[in-house]
Each structure stands twice: as C-alpha cells, then as structure tokens.
Amino acid sequence: MPMWLRSPAYHEIVSFAEQLSSSVAGKPVSAQYDISENVHSICKMLDQAETWIAQNPPDTTASSRFGNQSFRKWQTELEQQVPQLLHDLLPTSSHNAIVELAPYLTESFGNATRIDYGSGHELSFLVWLLCLCKIGHFAPSDSPALVLVVFRRYLALCQQLQRTYMLEPAGSHGVWGLDDYQFLPFYFGSAQFIGTSVPPSESISPTLVEAKSDEYLYLQGIRFVMEMKRGPFFEHSRQLYDISGVPKWEKVNQGLGKMYKAEVLGKFPVVQHLQFGTLFAISSEIS
C-alpha cells in the first residue's frame, strides 16, 4: 500500500476524480455543456452491453437471494467483445493502447467468480476513463459530459446488472456503509447541488428523488437504494441519512472526497486487483 499511495497512478486518479467533481459543480444533467462524438460513442457501446442482459436472462431456478449465475454468461460476453469494442471505438493511432485499456473496462461491471460488484469495479471504470483522457480520446472540455452523460449511463447499466442478477455487494460495510455498491454518484452528485436552493436535508425526500433523480446523480443513487432496500431509511442507510444532516453541499462534497481517498483508494481489498502499465503507472520509471 505505501508504494500505491506514493505512485503516479494514485495521484493521477485522485486529481482526476476531483477534476470531474469540480466540472459538474452546480450543473444538472440538462445544463449546457459540450457532448462530443466520442462521448456518444461510449454511450452506444454501453447501450450494446445492456442488450446482452436480455440475451442472458437470470436463472429463475436459482434459490439463493444473491448471485444469479447467469451474470457469468453476461460477463463472458463482455470479455469476448471488449477487444473489438475498443477497436471500433478508438482511432487506429490508439489501437496499441487496447491491451492496457481492455482489463479496466472488463473489470468495471463486477466479478464473475464471486458474482459481486463494489467500489473497486467502479474505480476500474474511472481508471478506464482516465486512460482514455491520457491517450487524447477526451479533452478537458469533455469533463462535465464524462460525468453527466458517460458515467450516468454506466451507472444505469450497473444498476440494471445489480437488479437483474442480484449481484452480491463486494466488501459491503453493511448498514454503516455509504452504499452497498457505488460511491462516485454521491461524490459527483453532491457537487451538482452546490449553489442550488436544495439543501442536503432534502436529498432523502422521496418526493424530490422521484422528481429530480434524472437530473442529479446523487438522487439517482438514493432512488436505487430506496428501490432495493426495505424499512426506514435511517436504519438501512445510516451514513447517507447522516449526510442529509450536513448544512451545506460544499461540506458534503469535501467530506466525500476525503472519504473516497480513505475508504476506497486507501483500502487494500478495494485496490488490490488494479493493474498497472504505462498509462496507469505504479512507478514513475514506466509512466
């Protein structure tokens, strides 16, 4: 872990997450920002991946609550298709990066062996986006769209996979965790609310969630929690409930940024499966 925390990769991913968060401050999904053709292309790729769910329906004979084995078929399809998907996505001049990019995308949706999903898989998608930026596939002006279009589409796909195949929460903190599956929708989503008239106390209001979850990632995350869990919100999602008591979104955003570094990037069980190369380097000698 000390090598990771000192590495170029660590500092790049922290800066990238902070930059993406800052880029959507005060912006709902419907705000004005550049949406490039490369952004549209990734969304089309994620649309294609979602069609594989219908082709691999959940096994209705399964008796366990979590971990429908049909997810393994979906993941196999992903692993087989990723090299060609990236070949089609990238210009010829970037094809030499596919060997490094493919594992990050393949690991972004869950683990087929354990049939689970957690913040480490979400991190893998963030690393994939960072690497695409580093090869010039995205410009700094694409940052808001990477959050409000690409990441939002990714989140919707992940939620559909979690819902369909009942993926086990990977390393869930249980009732004291931020969420069983995701972290970044709350970090990025808290930035969206900065400067608005909506206080954090309203973030767990079913009325607001129903009305505005298509505009704010934070509410999209809350909506999914409310859909998947039963009982009083303060019992099953204590940390999100406590966040609603913070007076300002700026404080929420700052706190979640620190929490992401400590509880996601700073935890060995989360980052242990990350792969490193020339684009995402553990040592400055190979970056």
**What is the overall mean pLDDT for the chain?**
93
**pLDDT tens digits, one per residue of 226-275:** 998 888 888 888 889 999 999 999 999 999 999 999 999 998 888 888 99
Mean pLDDT of 138-144: 97
Q: Which helix (H) or strand (E) holds 103?
A: helix 98-106
**Which one-letter amino acid corresponds to residue 260?**
Y
DSSP state of 147: I
271 vs 128: CA distance, rounded Å: 14
- In the structure, what pLDDT confidence band is assigned to residue 214 with cuts at 50, 70 and 90? very high
Element of type H or E holding 128: helix 119-134
pLDDT at site 273? 87
List, for residues 40-93, the tens digit of each pLDDT value: 999 999 999 999 999 999 998 876 677 899 999 999 999 999 999 999 999 999
Half-sphere exposure of 261 (CA within 13 A, CB side): 16
How much is the pTM? 0.95
pLDDT class of 176 with cuts at 50, 70, 90? very low
Is the pLDDT assigned to residue 100 strictly greater than 70?
Answer: yes
Contact in structure between 66 and 114 (CB atoms under 8 Å): no
In the chain, % of residues over pLDDT 90: 82
pLDDT at 280 over 70: yes
Supply the pLDDT for residue 163. 93
Distances in Å between the Cα of 180 and the Cα atoms of 9, 171, 228, 232, 252 are 26, 8, 10, 16, 19
Task: Please say whether the beta carbons of 26 and 197 come within 8 A.
Answer: no
